[in-house]
Structure 1
Amino acid sequence: MKVVDQYHKWVEWSDEDQTYVGKCPDLITGIHGDDPVRLYAELCAVVDEVIRHFQATGRMLPRPRVRPMQEVV
């Protein structure tokens, strides 16, 4: 598994901001945009860039802690 795949990322609509918000709380606070598909691609690129920065500077990445919820049947 790639390092980037260990971090949970998602896009959701914000009624308060009237825009889509992309989140990866283990690494960044978030980004926003009008197109959810394009925003997710941008979010993945930003998260990948943050990971490369951590690695290039010798800093330890934070442990991935946010996990998607699993529906219980």
Structure 2
Amino acid sequence: MSRTRFSEHCKRLTNMTPRQYLQDLRLEEASRLLKSPDHNSVTEIAFSCGFNSSQYFSNSFRKRYGRAPNASRGLA
């Protein structure tokens, strides 16, 4: 399957590009980790979820959830 066909198929299934879908999955995992009782730093969580920059992670998280990652700590 070509990249173009894969991208079109992904868009049809998820209404997102493959890159958007991957970022969405990463942000969901980060949100789950932030809510867990473990005391990993936001930067450690960002890197463990595949983000290369804690600032980019923070901006993406805020755009998706409307709050900073630190504000999500301990929320159930």
Normalised to the residue count of structure 1, the TM-score between the two structures is 0.36
Larger Rg: 2
Greater strand share, structure number: 1
Greater relative contact order structure (CA < 8 Å, 6+ sep): 1
Greater helix share, structure number: 2
